[in-house]
Structure 1
Amino acid sequence: MLVPFLIMLREGIEAALIVGIVAGYLKQTGRGQWLGVVWLGILLAAGLSLFVGAALQFASAEFPQKLQELFEALVGLLAVCVLTSMVFWMRKAARSIANELRASVDAALAQPGHKAYGLIAMIFFAVAREGLESVFFLLATFQQSEGLAAPLGALLGLVCAAVIGYGIYVGGVRLNLRRFFRWTGIFILVVAAGILAGSIRALHEAGLWNHFQSVVVDLSGILPVGSAVGTLFSGIFGYQDTPTVSEVCAYSVFLVVTLYLFLRPARVPAVAAEYSRS
């Protein structure tokens, strides 16, 4: 429940920031009449995300066992790519996203005709990105968990994100967004490592990956994955009580490389460095 909650909270706040920046800019520049168009773009993006999620879930239910394992593996690998790119994109774009969005609004509304279409498209693609990222992550999570805890956590995260987003928009809520995205970025990379290990396991169960399958350590007698703590660790860290060599290697290499790249200081451009010394 915690993992879907935090992921949807982060995704929701990202989407809320995008919408809030655009809506606030429209109001500040006396173009508040276009706010209805913004909502239309949001609804279309939400509809697309729900349709894609439902279609993929329905399609997976019709697969035989081995194809279901292959589908789970492919969704997991795609979720890892999407989550990782999301974390690094926000790290890079956080400083300039407001200016870029305002420039996109001006460009959309500067078109000689069909201004509404340009604004709808801008909002649609910005929000759909967050929605589709959430869809692939939630599919990978739901396939590796049982019961209603994961869907409930995702729903609560989305509701909290909407409340916080509205609070940021009206100015009543102050968040240290840099710190928030940094710590949630670390958490997402840990989750992505677990999903990657689970995808390796699914590929083996589908009969497509049979290398390095010796068990590294058997913890089933100490901390079985079916226990309360084991289930919690499995949901957050991708824990397995009998991990194989390939799963441990995939988890460790991915986590070490991505955390190093994510946590290392951003490079200052040479021109900026020269300017700061002068």
Structure 2
Amino acid sequence: MLPSYLLSLREGLEAALIIGIVLGALQKIRRTDLAPMLWYGTLAAVGVSIFTAILLTVFGLSLEGSAEQIYEGITMFIAAGLLTWMIFWMSQQARTLKTELEADVNKAAASRNGRALFWMAFIAVVREGVELAFFITAAFFAGSTENVGANTIQTLAGVVLGLSTSILLGWSLFATAVRLDLRRFFQVTGFILILFAGGLVAHGIHEFNEVGWIPNIIEHVWDVNAIVDEKSVLGELLKTLFGYNGNPSLTEMIGYFVYLAVVAVFFQRSNTKKIVTVAQPSA
């Protein structure tokens, strides 16, 4: 439940920020009459996102044997790639997001029927929603597939709680005096999600080890299942969060640590560069 909660909180807050900025821009130019088109676009995007998540999950559950392992492996890699891109994109675009959205709103408001605003809201929100659909699907398959019912309930509970929290935070940011340090929030959640993405990479390599697409080199580097069984409650939690495997292959561990090292370095440099740039006094 925790991975789906964190993912839903992060994606949901990004969507809430976008909606809040657009609503504020409409109020600024006195075109609140276009607000319904914003909500129509948002609801349409939510519907597409839910359909995508259901389709991806149901299709994956319908597969068996090597086809299931290949599908899960591909899903893990796609989700890890999207998650990495999302972390860096938000880190780079956070400063200019409001300005760019307000400019888009001004252009969309020039349309008499409001269709431009509908599509602007739809595209902005569906991007977050489809990304979340891939992440939730990956988190679902990273969890226990032996008890599908319990895994489904936990995943859905995490999604509902995460989105509810993001809506509450988004409303607080724009309707009250509450202020959230968004830069720190995205830094902390970004670091946690990097660990989660590393687990997805390792899990994807594990699935491809099973079908022979990636060699093991060494089948089991170690076996610590006697200490923390990957099928225990703690093991399942660590597996879902960080891709824990009690007896990983050598390529699985290489992929995991190489990903973490490379992405963590670039993430730290990105945040350091941004802090330095903001701190420099203007001439």
Question: What TM-score range do you get, normalising by the shorter chain?
Answer: over 0.9
Tell me the distance in 1 between the aligned counterparts of 2:274 and 2:227. Answer: 45
Larger deviation, residues 11-20 vs 201-210: 201-210
Any residues of structure 2 matched to 1:108-187 within 5 Å, and which?
Answer: 108-111=108-111, 114=113, 116-146=114-144, 147=150, 148-187=153-192
Residues 137 and 173 of structure 1: CA distance in aligned 2, closer, same or farther (over 3 Å): same
Question: In terms of mean alpha carbon deviation, does 150-159 or 12-21 score higher?
Answer: 150-159
Residue in 2 that maps onto 1:266:
273
Where do 1:51-90 residues align within 5 Å? Answer: 51-90=51-90
**Structure 2: how far apart are the matches of 1:130 and 1:174?**
23
Q: Which whole-Å CA distance do the structure 1 matches of 2:102 and 2:232 have between them? A: 50
Write the distance in 2 (CA, Å) between the matches of 1:249 and 1:209.
12
Displacement of 1:189 after TM fit?
A: 0.6
- SS in structure 2 at match of 1:225: coil
The count of residues paired between Structure 1 and Structure 2 equals 273
User: CA offset at residue 89 of structure 1?
Assistant: 0.2
Shift of 1:63: 2.1
Matches within 5 A, 1:1-278: 1-111=1-111, 114=113, 116-146=114-144, 147=150, 148-264=153-269, 265-266=272-273, 276=282
8 Å Cα contact 2:215-2:251 kept in structure 1 = no
Letter in 1 for 2:192: F
Q: Deviations over 1:124-181 (max 9, x none)?
A: 1100010011000000110121322222112111111111111222124321100000
Identify the residue that residue 147 of structure 2 maps to in structure 1. none
Q: Could you tell me how far 1:216 is from its partner in structure 2?
A: 1.4
* Aligned-partner Cα distance in 1 for 2:275–2:156: 42
Question: What is the Cα deviation at residue 268 of structure 1?
Answer: 9.2
Q: Give SS of 1:259's match.
A: helix
User: CA shift at 1:6, angstroms?
Assistant: 1.1
Aligned to 1:266, what secondary structure does the other structure show?
A: helix
Deviation at 1:219, TM superposition (A): 0.3
TM-score, normalisation: structure 1: 0.92
- Residues of 1 paired with 2:274 and 2:183: CA distance? 17
Normalised to the residue count of structure 2, the TM-score between the two structures is 0.91
CA distance in 2 between partners of 1:216 and 1:154 (Å): 35
Give 1:103 deviation, angstroms.
0.4
* Distance (whole Å) between structure 1 residues aligned to residue 250 and residue 276 of structure 2: 41
Q: 1:178 to 1:269 in 2, by over 3 A?
A: closer
Q: Gaps (5+ residues) in structure 2?
A: 145-149
Cα RMSD of the aligned pairs, angstroms, is 2.0
Give the drift of 1:232: 2.2
In structure 2, distance between residues paired with 1:267 and 1:182: 12
